[in-house]
Structure 1
Amino acid sequence: MPPDLDRDPFAEPRRRDGVLLADFEGEPISMILGHRAVREAAKAWQTYSSDAPFRVPIPAETGVRSVRQLPIEADPPLHKTVRDQLKPIFLKPAAPDYAARIEALVGRLLAPLLDAREIEMVRGFALPLQSIALTHLLGMPETEAEEWIAWGTHVFHDGADGGAKGAVLADYIRRRIDAARRNPGADLFGAMTRMTIEGRPLTDDEMAGIANLAFAGGRDTVINAVAAVIAHFAQDRPALDLLRGEPRRLPAAVEEFIRVTAPLTHIGRVCPHGAQIGPYRVAAGGRVSLCWASANFDDTVFDAPTELRLDRNPNPHLGFGSGPHSCLGAAQARSILRALIRQLAERTAAIDLVAQERSEEHFGPITRTAGFRSLHVRLHAR
């Protein structure tokens, strides 16, 4: 089953007062849990600011990178200025020809795995899929993905010192920026040489901040979602067969997987002037958490939220965030998951779940399973 589908770890504190106070590396952070409250906070950027370099992710990333991620660590108008210029790149997955390319990519990566004895799907399939698909999004050669795959499932926190891994990513980005300065192309790096802020070109640090987010922001989240889809259909073949016979159901199914897996548990905001969050007072400069994973199980919004209903409609989930900072990579993630489900339905007769090791996140007394450290399956060809 997808992580957390059988339970809602945030249910009790959400129903009690809508807030959970949790410790993150010695920093107490109030987690906003309710669907309505999270949406309202996501829009109220003057109260809950993203203008907080290194402190938007939780835990903070002060020790693993040296540049401010843009546009996620900025408020309007800077946020909108950068985001609007990135949209032509990140909305490419909406085009039919792009969707066909992702479809072909998923089929190509699945083909050698069919009828193999056993495959570890996190690093053996989901990681290469996310990395190669990213080359398509950013307009770069597929060969670039070979280096990206070597970074692991998370570019900062994947079994190695985060600072050392961050330095590897930073060096890669600086090399690509230098090359784009000399010879601007049509890829992300070339596009950034033509972007402006208040009429001036981007600095190298601003370009590095955009690229850092592009490589780090949608990596483990997409990998988690891909693994969750495979794990679920290994145990619910009838649902996959239904989608094969009725492909019009695919978009709704993808949205439901995003709701129940909530690949990004939460994100941070800083309160410049302080705030009252339920019973807790946040000091000026203190952080709060917008907890997407809790909001997506709010039973005042979703009927039977712990049930995965592939035809759920309406489905106002917050799996891609909410407000001005809603995820720019949402179209890419949807394209990958649609192609994955379609290919699994059409090309497999059965998926055997052999072994799994889930990842866990801890919030005080609460534990949430979020993705898989490993997922071993056998894929039987149709």
Structure 2
Amino acid sequence: MQVRRVAITGLGLISPYGGDMADFFTRLIAGESAVRHLLTDDLPRPLSTPFVSCLGFNAEAALGKPLALMMERFAQLGMAAAFQAWDQAGLPRRLEAGADPASRDQWGCIWGTALGGLAAHERGSRELWQKGRERLSPLSVVQGMNNAVNAHISIQLGLGGLSTSHTAACASSGIAIGEAFRRVRSGEADVMLTGGSDVCQSYGVVRAWEAMRVLAPGDAATSPMACRPFAADRAGLVLGEGGAALVLEAWDHAVARGATIHGEIVGYGTSCDHSHLVRPQRDGQVRAMRSALADGGLVPRDIHYVNAHGTATAEGDPVEMAALREVFADVAQELPVSATKSMHGHLLGAAGAIEAVVTALALREQAVPPTAHLAGRIDPACEGVDHVLQGRRGVPMQAALSSSFAFGGSNAVLAFRAPPR
């Protein structure tokens, strides 16, 4: 099997702060929370919860009205992020006149989403049962299908290779990125577009998470600080919406066309806890991290930053810290770790994608984002690493991990290297 280096030549995301990528990362480094209080007019009981919304996102402006109307919001967010990444990679959306139409036949898209177009189906149910409608929009099926994003991406960009989606709860886009990485590394594709998107505001989704008693409480005043991973007073996770994308490209292919390389993916590790649907297991997480290190030819001392899964749940955070202490052993105390969900929330199937983008940016910019709201609050059960309490700039870093640990016991860890300087 041919083994090739895999460059990141494009990054895209829809920022919950409303600005561009540079603004997004600057605000993360500053520890600024994008969490706000969500209050809806839903009946029988309005939603009232901390939430992260992409309030400034205009789908018609980003995609054009005809394309936007074909999509549910999760697909709009994903498609917009994909276009950003593709444009940054310097690749034309349409083949130029005279170009070989078969040149993209092996290029593909692997996407991650946990909920997909569930909102379209929920909206349809309301129309039928509450408003008495007898039929739904003929777009309901194509808006609601989980593979809508990768399908639209492949159509819009002329990608003739693999087009598929992964759904594995909170590890969905981590797995999607890892599988896209393997496709490029193996020589099956020169270019893969990958990432994830989700919209968690559906009434039934929020109520379901609420019923599990893992959502952080908050009102208009307290919501920005509601998500506190690794803190002794943590009270649960905060849901959000968003989309993030990466263009992965064979290194030699990228260099040959003069592309800017924003980073490199070097390893990917997966495992299954095979023990419990919702209770995480240290051993499974340890196997995934060690697998990613081995796949990337790395040892613990090579890692200069870990973007942790860090959801701020009572049970999940200590398990993740125990796994990190086991994997990194005598160097754990000097390992910088942060959970950026404290600021951008938990995007479920898109969590791995936005955190992969954050990790790539951290290495590119040589800057480490913090875990917000943690100073003076660290749970003794979560000690044993170098918790990043304030953003750090000018930090020499060569390699980093980004971890996604999901309900169902699905674990995915990605290993990154900094771009050449």
Q: Shared topology, TM-score over 0.5?
A: no
Q: TM tier, shorter chain?
A: under 0.3
TM-score normalised by the chain length of structure 1? 0.28
Question: Of Structure 1 and Structure 2, which has the larger fraction of its residues in helix?
Answer: 1
TM-score normalised by the chain length of structure 2? 0.26
